[in-house]
Structure 1
Amino acid sequence: MAGSLPSGTALPSRSDPAFERFARLVRRQLDVPVALVTLVSADEQVFPGAVGLPEPWRSTRRTPLSHSFCQHVVRSAAPLIVSDARTDPRVADNLAIPDLHVIAYAGVPITDADGAVVGSLCAIASRPRTWSDEDLAVLIDLADACSSELQLRTAQQRADQAAAQARRLLAQQQVDRSRWALALDAGQVGTFDLDLGTGALTVDDRLLELSGMDRVTFTGRPEDVYAHVHPDDVAEVVARVRKAVATGGTYQAEYRIVLADGSHRWIAARGQTVGGVDGTDPRLVGVVIDTTTQREPQEQTAQIVDEMAVGFIALDPDWVITHVNREAERITGQPREQLLGRTLWEAFPATVDTAFEKHYRRAADTGQPVSFDAYYPEPLDVWVEVRAVPRPAGVALHFVDITARAQAAQQFERAAARERLLGRITEELVGTLDADEAAERLSRLVVPAIADWCVVTIGDDDLAAGSRRGLRTAAAWHVDPAMRETTAAYAQARLGSLEDDAILIRAMRSGQLQLIDAGATGQVQDMLAGGPVQELMGALAPEAVAVLPLPGRNGPVGILSLANGAARGSFTPEDLVTARHIAARSGLVLDGARLYRQQRGLAEGFQRSLLTAPFEPDHLQVVVRYVPASQAAQVGGDWYDSFMQPGGATMLVIGDVAGHDVQAAAAMGQLRSIVRTVGALDHDGPAAVLRQVERVMETLQAPILATTVVARLEQTDPEKDAGLTRLRWSNAGHPPPMAVAPDGTVTVLTAERADLLLGVDPTAPRRESQVTLGWDTVVVLYTDGLIERRDADLDTGITRLQATLAELAGRDLDELCDELLARMLSDAPDDDVALVAVRLHRQDRPRPAEAGPNRVPPGFPVD
């Protein structure tokens, strides 16, 4: 119902923790900069919950209505959705647009305990936004919870007010009792005398007046009085009189007299049996007094308590239940007649040794009220918010049924947990392009999130739609570590034992979820051929099984099998929805991994077909490596080469053609052929080779840009006798080679000035550099993919490579190259890498076995 708080109502101006939490939830769930919980009066609005509110409003937490969008929500009692406030005629003149930067606004009503709209829960953006149905649904759910919080507080306030009124009535009762004492002193008491022998009743005028009778109608029999007693009380009065007569004891009763106008008066009667000796008849004598003024406040208090919207149970110091109101009857599901007179622990045994008992006893021991939320199990199955209030005569329990709110919060948390699970699965699976690793990650994420154990089955590249051929088990996992070996054994054995009607086969053929909701162990065993696999299934003992195909672009690429034990039982609808989402995402990732594997194989095969094994003359060990980029289709232009010149010198080449595509690979093949053809026929040094290559490229009109290093290992006889080898090289814009001495010293082989890369200027000068190397020196040539990183420059990469080579000095050359690539490259390198490494073995000894056999062209010298 629409409305606003009354004019002049004092609104809270400080932050409230509960409402702050709702504001934070809105900002996080709807991804907005500002979220508010507002309460609106006729003059202003305040923000007991606010996140992202700018100054000065963040300090004051109030604004006039000229800055309020929420007033429209209160007046209309309906959500207000604004995509761009500057163009929306409903709010275009609102001062919140320039002052608070409110552009997009979504607000949902907040209601009080009487159903009146008193504020709104709103999300605010400082730029235009189209609010989705999901945004509005989240906002409505949170606004309902916010309203519940406000209504609970109102109920608590009313309960406190009722308790205060009861205290006032009790105080009044004390006054009335004093007045009653004065009345007794003044003789305002009726008297009676019942002759137990004759049954004659003698009363005075005051008793007749109090009982609604007169002398004319009174016949002197007790039945005359009973006729005016309230029908609900007469049986109790008669029973008490008879008991006093039978026992010769006292008589006490308090009852209602029905008056002529239909109203009633409360009468308190006290009597004592006397006489009965010396031949006299016994008598019951006593007095009556009007207690209406004392009982009415009690009745009013009891009525107020009974009509409260908050459950109420009063306990005496021995924890015996002395009062139960109607709301308590409703929440507990028990009539008060079954509760009164029993101890709390007898009436509600599930409170023993729980948060309930702990908090109740804490309130009684400390004398301080205690508030808490807790769940009471079957048969009540209810969430309650309890306030235990100590009092002189025991403890009073005030409680509210918050089951709907708790379930909404639990449902919200389960939905959020499912979203987190799906997000984590996506993140984990896309982080690898290896199908088996993706399957392992998937199995550990779904267990125990939605199942007790699982098996992930994936298909090879030649998997046929609807066929078990090509399927293999990739991963299995169980929540119980003791059952993981059994799960793995079953997963490996089951594929060869499946009958044609097995649910795994049905899932592959249909592409649909297959579910056994109960009694799954026997049903699955019937789908397996006899033998150990059936025993393994019996040991796993699933109660429920769900089998989901993992859909790829052209049909299922695998199967996700989920199972629950008897304790967990059937899959919930939410579990199955989540499982479908998981299967869909996992299938795409596994399909992508399969496509990557296929494309990578083709690309790497094409690239490697352009590279040949190096020549290795005596005492010279040459190791080459090529690593393709992680993007399979990005066939690179990196290459290496090692060949011999007619004079016996060994040429080393490393190069990188600009681009990462098939054209770059083709250009690389063309340039590599030119370099090795010119170099293999030429007796000149590296610079002359590069000049000749430039002329050939110009003649052939080959539009190729490339960086390269051409190096030549050579020696004279005196140098050979001295254990020395000269390295001459020419560098066309390429990263510098490095030389690793036996003692671990790494030298970066740079020239005074770098020459232009190939393909820019055919007339550009080509310079040579030279260094003399000793035995056991390692020379490393590489492409920029080895040192280049997005977050660091090339100089940093060169320094890192230099340090890594120093650490690897002295290792076998093959081991050095493999370890170097492992340390320098990520799991998914952005660029391809070519590498040539040469070790100068000693020439005064035989060629070492680790260098492998000589490999030289026919007719070339081997020394």
Structure 2
Amino acid sequence: MADLGPTTASDPAYERFARLVKAYLGVPVALVSFVGDDGQRLPGALGLPEPWQSRRGTPLSHSFCKHVVAEDRPLVVSDSRTVDFLQDNLAIPDLNVIAYAGYPLHDLQGRAVGSLCAIDGEPRAWIERELAVLEDLALACASEVQLREAGDTATTAVATATRREAHAQILLALSDAFTQTRTPDDVLDAVQRAAADVAGAARSSVALAHPERGSLSWVRHAVVPGAPESIWADEPLNRTESPAVRAVVSGRPLFFDDAEAMGAAFPRVAGVGGPGAAAFLPLTTSTATLGAILLRWHEPRVLTSSIRDLLVTLASDASTALERAHLLQSRSDVARTLQAAMLSQLPEPTGVDLDAVYLPAEVTEQVGGDWYDAMELADGGFAIVVGDVTGHDMPAATRMGQLRSMLRALLWEHDKPPSMVLELLDQANVGTGLEATATAFLARLEPPTASGVRRLTWASAGHPPAFVRRASGACVVLDARPGLPLGFIPERERHDHVVELAPGDTLVVYTDGLLERRVESMRDSIAAAAAVVAGLSDLGAAAVVEALGPTGDRRDDVVVLSLAIHA
């Protein structure tokens, strides 16, 4: 008997889309079609000849939709008999498909899975308005496809959650335990606690895989009475007679209700560790196999499906936490290296002591947008800058690095006062598309006069005011009205200000993370800080941070730069 393809039930929602296509485009046949290995299913179909209309399905030999799905793009033909790859399709003689216009339907992953199509039994020149309507209807139909898929996913998730309801409190405690971990050692500690507290295991051990070395290393292991320490030696990943290696390589857990069953399956470990039950759980994620957990109980026990589900969940949570911990450690290492590379080695200009410190926020990736810089200029002048790019994470550090490099180039190339350099910087910031928002304090220090006094010309782009602690002990706040921060209105004119620094005077510049407090305004913090600075005997950057910096976890980066004129 000839293959007639699958049969499909009529679907009211998809039938509605077929009716809309037929009505708006005036075609005799309209289909909602889905392609699978078994053929073409038509839950929405109008106008097909029998037996296809009743069956609502055809073999792939009768499908134009398969081309729409394969190419993931519309297929529009006026006369299929003249198209090379269509002219032998059995839909032409059996279904009278002459003119065809089909648009793809996509699932939640963006894959083409079917088509919404209009069909005419006569040659037809499709007009732009008709195709636009068909495209819009196809997008709406795809939404229905995706909504159903999302609903199926949600139903599956609910069913899974229901099956695990008996373990809800245990799983919550387990999740909390791993959520609190930050380092790989934290995760390994949590695994061993959970093995005892949640799974009731007498002993637990953890091995990590090293694919580059081709081995499995037991980084945590319990003492096994009567067994030599050599049982914990590294194991080659090709030693499949080892149950731990087998679990790692296969990615599947191994459960044994007693030691006899384990020894029968793996003679190499027969008699090791007592008579109790055992479980070998692979630590796997969607991207990697990380290792394995070994659990042992003192006595034989039936590891029911409920217990096995719990143990698999333990391993899954541990795998996610371990991968996250490795990622955090890697990001932290990269972040610190990046930040260190972008912080300047301070020069040692004659007659000036420069000191600076950068402290990252303690609640993020330990890298951010605060920076300091100091450089001797081509014309003999000397410049310092402290800036703060919005954010305290890796993207902020990246924008900071670009802004800092722009500023260094402008300072070297242009013999201009700080206000004009900031204007040029802001124009370049916006004009190049960087568009970083930042505050900055930029100053130029001139050579000393005969009396040792040095002129400091400065400009501020929305930055907190600097302090000048005089040799006499008085503290002056450089609180002239600041300009706008960078990244807002680059055409806005900026202004310079001048202060004279005598021998023994010290300039202290900082970012707002030094003074930000939840319980007081920034204005009050600045006034209080000025009083503290006036009384400090040590105005090195680290001493200023110790005297003024926030207590507890820093929620923002902190930079302090001090410039002292030799007495």
TM-score by length of 1: 0.38
Residue equivalent to 2:559: 835
2:234 to 489, 495, 510: 495
- Name the structure 1 match of 2:52: none
Larger radius of gyration: 1
In 2, the alpha carbon distance for the partners of 1:504 and 1:807 equals 65
Equivalences for residues 327-406 of structure 1 within 5 A: none
CA drift of 1:736 comes to 3.8
**CA gap 1:838/1:490 in 2 versus in 1, 3 angstroms:** farther
Distance 1:470 1:811 in 2: 53
Deviations 1:577-617 (A, max 9, x none): 32211111121222233344445555665666555433233
CA contact (8 A) 1:430 1:589 kept: yes
SS in 1 for 2:233: helix
Instruction: Write the deviation string for residues 401-453 of structure 1: whole angstroms up to 9, x where unpaired.
Output: xxxxxxxxxx99xx4xx533322332232234322222223322332432223
Amino acid at match of 2:301: S
Are 2:495 and 1:756 equivalent residues in the alignment? no
1:506 aligns with 2:506: no
Q: 1:781 to 1:560 in 2, by over 3 A?
A: same
Q: Provide, for residues 46-93 of structure 1, a one-character-per-residue CA deviation record: whole Å limited to 9, x for no partner.
A: xxxxxxxxxxxxxxxxxxxxxxxxxxxxxxxxxxxxxxxxxxxxxxxx
1:551 partner letter: T
CA deviation string 1:755-785 (max 9, x = no partner): 2113414233324263747759573423x56
Separation of aligned partners in 2, 1:728 and 1:624:
23
1:453 — aligned with what? Answer: 203
Secondary structure in structure 2 of the residue aligned to 1:577: helix
Task: State the aligned residue count.
Answer: 405
1:131-180 per-position Cα deviation (integer Å, ceiling 9, x unaligned) = x9889999xxxxxxxxxxxxxxxxxxxxxxxxxxxxxxxxxxxxxxxxxx
Could you tell me how far 1:492 is from its partner in structure 2? 10
CA contact (8 A) 2:384 2:442 kept: yes
Which amino acid is 1:733 matched to? G
Give the direction of change, closer, same or farther, for the CA distance of 1:681–1:609 in structure 2 (3 Å limit): same
Q: Secondary structure at the match of 2:215?
A: coil
**Paired residue for 1:469?**
215
Q: Do the aligned residues in 2 keep the contact of 1:549 with 1:560 (CA within 8 Å)?
A: yes
Deviations 1:703-747 (A, max 9, x none): 554321113455625664xxx87665322112344578999x996
Residue 631 of structure 1: how far off its partner (Å) = 6.2
Secondary structure of 1:592's aligned partner: helix
Q: Distance in 1 between matches of 2:499 and 2:387?
A: 19
Show the counterpart of 1:92. Answer: none
Question: Which residue is 1:711 aligned to?
Answer: 443
Residue 41 of structure 1: aligned partner: none
Q: Is 2:508 aligned against 1:779?
A: yes
5 Å-filtered alignment, 1:241-640, equals 415=166, 418-450=167-199, 451-459=201-209, 463=211, 469=215, 471=217, 473=219, 475=220, 493-495=232-234, 500-519=240-259, 527=268, 543-566=276-299, 569-570=300-301, 572-573=303-304, 574-599=306-331, 610-617=342-349, 620-625=353-358, 627=360, 637-640=369-372
What CA deviation, in whole Å up to 9, does each residue of 1:773-813 have, x standing for no partner? Answer: 7759573423x566668998756887998899999974975
Q: Deviations over 1:19-53 (max 9, x none)?
A: xxxxxxxxxxxxxxxxxxxxxxxxxxxxxxxxxxx
* In structure 2, C-alpha distance between the alignment counterparts of 1:544 and 1:776, rounded to whole Å: 75
- Normalized against structure 2, the TM-score is what? 0.54
Aligned residue number for residue 281 of structure 1: none
- RMSD across aligned C-alpha pairs, in angstroms? 5.5
Aligned-pair CA distance for 1:678: 3.0
Cα distance in structure 1, aligned partners of 2:393 and 2:552: 24
Q: 1:447 aligns to what SS in structure 2?
A: helix
The Cα offsets for residues 221-255 of structure 1, whole Å up to 9 and x where unpaired, read as xxxxxxxxxxxxxxxxxxxxxxxxxxxxxxxxxxx
CA separation of 1:558/1:522 partners in 2, compared to 1, >3 Å: closer, same or farther?
Answer: closer
Deviation string for 1:499-544 (max 9, x for gaps)? 6522211110111222343348995997479xxxx9xx76xx5733
- Aligned mates of 2:532, 2:232 — CA distance in 1: 46
CA contact (8 A) 1:637 1:658 kept: yes
Q: 1:708 to 1:548 in 2, by over 3 A?
A: same
5 Å-filtered alignment, 1:14-53, equals: none
In the alignment, structure 1 segments of 5+ residues that lack a partner are 1-129, 139-410, 845-863
Q: Hey, what's the Cα distance between the residues in 2 that align with 1:459 and 1:789?
A: 46
Contact in 2 for aligned 1:615/1:622 (Cα 8 Å):
no
1:789 to 1:717, Cα distance in 2 relative to 1, 3 A: closer
Instruction: Kindly indicate whether the alpha-carbon contact (under 8 Å) linking 1:740 and 1:778 is maintained by their aligned counterparts in 2.
Output: yes
Structure 2 unaligned runs (5+)?
Answer: 1-154
For 2:413 and 2:530, locate their aligned partners in 1 and report how far apart those are by CA, in whole Å: 34
Distance in 1 between residues matched to 2:519 and 2:172, nearest whole Å: 26
Query: 1:591/1:644 Cα in 2 relative to 1: closer, same or farther (>3 Å)?
Result: same
The CA deviation at 1:552 is 0.8
1:570 alignment partner AA: R
Task: Tell me what 1:641 maps to.
Answer: 373
- CA-to-partner distance for each residue in 1:251-291, whole Å, 9 max, x for gaps? xxxxxxxxxxxxxxxxxxxxxxxxxxxxxxxxxxxxxxxxx
State the 1:548 CA deviation.
0.7
Counterpart CA distance in 2 for 1:692 and 1:835 is 24
SS, match of residue 356 in structure 2: strand
Other-structure match for 2:461: 732
Distance 1:839 1:456, change over 3 A: farther
| 1:313-351 deviation per Cα after TM superposition (whole angstroms, max 9, x unaligned) | xxxxxxxxxxxxxxxxxxxxxxxxxxxxxxxxxxxxxxx
- 1:456, 1:521 → 2: CA distance? 22
SS at match of 2:193: helix
Once residues 480 and 323 of structure 2 are traced to their aligned partners in structure 1, the CA distance between those partners, rounded to angstroms, is 51
Q: Tell me, in whole angstroms, the C-alpha distance in 1 between the residues paired with 2:297 and 2:560.
A: 55
Q: Percent identity?
A: 24
- The 1-side partners of 2:497 and 2:391 are apart by 27
For 2:455 and 2:372, the matched residues in 1 are separated by 20
Does the 8 Å CA contact 1:543/1:564 hold for their aligned counterparts? Answer: yes
Aligned equivalents of 1:551, 1:698: Cα separation in 2: 45
**Distance in 2 of aligned mates of 1:423 and 1:599:** 28
**Residues 427 and 797 (structure 1), Cα distance of their counterparts in 2 relative to 1, 3 Å cut:** farther
Distance 1:134 1:711 in 2: 65
Partners of 2:492 and 2:434 in 1: how far apart?
16
Question: CA contact under 8 A between 2:386 and 2:559: conserved in structure 1?
Answer: yes
SS of the equivalent of 2:279 reads strand
SS of 1:837's partner is strand
Aligned partner letter, 2:318? S
